[in-house]
A = this chain, B = another copy of it.
């Protein structure tokens, strides 16, 4: 693995590209995942490749919501696993959440490769392989979840999720936290807390907020969640993408 100097002006972008390519080599990232990565790059470019203020507020609200949850689950797909495996394991640890692999194009090989990749990055338990639960309203392969994982979760973080599944999870009554760079996507629209940010910036920032909020009383966490306005955050992100400058 080539080391990319951290002071390189395109460090984050190069690191992202590098990790996604390595994900293909490891059998983790699919063709659809590469195309999705490109779509994300374009939105991030228009956003100025930065965490806008409303996204930081969403990340703080997500941290509070994960800390309030009784059974939080972080859902992991091929791109998420390739882009920030260690960062997700760290977040799961800080908010005491389970990690569950969920794929748009589910194959046993990719499920196993992703679970192994998460374990290499420190995960002790990875759900998703039992697949004894179902999300109502989705076709067979797409519906599979672990009954004691996403099936029983009250709060789920679903980064880079497909629109159909994001809507079906919302319909199940889960509190849904979505990371997506397109504020107009169905996933972002379906979320209780949409985080319009690059997952590479978003996950460590949710963790940072969670660390700060960990000792806070429930009323304070409840207030942070209640104050967050999903619709205003989506409007703000769309405004930044459409009208914002790409160079600050």
Pick the residue among B34, B36, B42, B246 that contacts A31 (CB under 8 A): B34
The answer, yes or no, to whether A242 is at the interface (CB within 8 Å) is yes
Nearest CB of B to A190, in Å: 18
A88 to B182, CA, bound (A): 32
Residues of B within 8 A of A236 (CB): none
The A interface, classified by DSSP as helix, strand, loop or mixed, is: helix
B243 contacts A182, CB within 8 Å?
Answer: no
A20 to B32, CA, bound (A): 10
Interface residues of A in 37-52 (CB under 8 A from B): 37-43, 45-46
A194 CB to nearest chain B CB (Å): 17
Instruction: Answer yes or no: A24 CB below 8 A from chain B CBs.
Output: yes
- Tell me if A184 and B246 are in contact (CB < 8 A): yes
Quick one: CB contact mask for A23-66 with B, threshold 8 Å, 1 for yes? 01000000100111111111101100000000000000000000
- Smallest CB separation, A44 vs chain B (Å): 9
A35 to B37, CA, bound (A): 6
**A12 is an interface residue with CB less than 8 A from chain B:** no
A154 interface residue (CB < 8 Å to B): no
Which residues of B are found within 8 Å of A46, using beta-carbon distances? 46, 241-242
Decide if A167 is an interface residue (CB 8 Å cutoff): no
Say yes or no: B41 contacts A31, CB within 8 Å.
Answer: no
- CB < 8 Å: which of B17, B21, B42, B184 contacts A38? B42
Closest residue on chain B to residue A38 by CB atoms: B38
Contacts of A184 in B (CB 8 A): 246
Chain B nearest CB from A179 CB (Å) reads 16
Smallest Cβ-Cβ distance to A24: which chain B residue: B31
Query: Which A residues form the contact surface with B (CB < 8 A)?
Result: 17, 20-21, 24, 31, 34-43, 45-46, 182, 184, 241-243, 246
| 13 new A-B contacts at CB < 8 Å, known A38-B38, A38-B40, A46-B46 | A17-B35, A20-B35, A21-B31, A31-B34, A35-B37, A35-B38, A39-B39, A39-B41, A45-B182, A46-B241, A184-B246, A242-B243, A243-B243
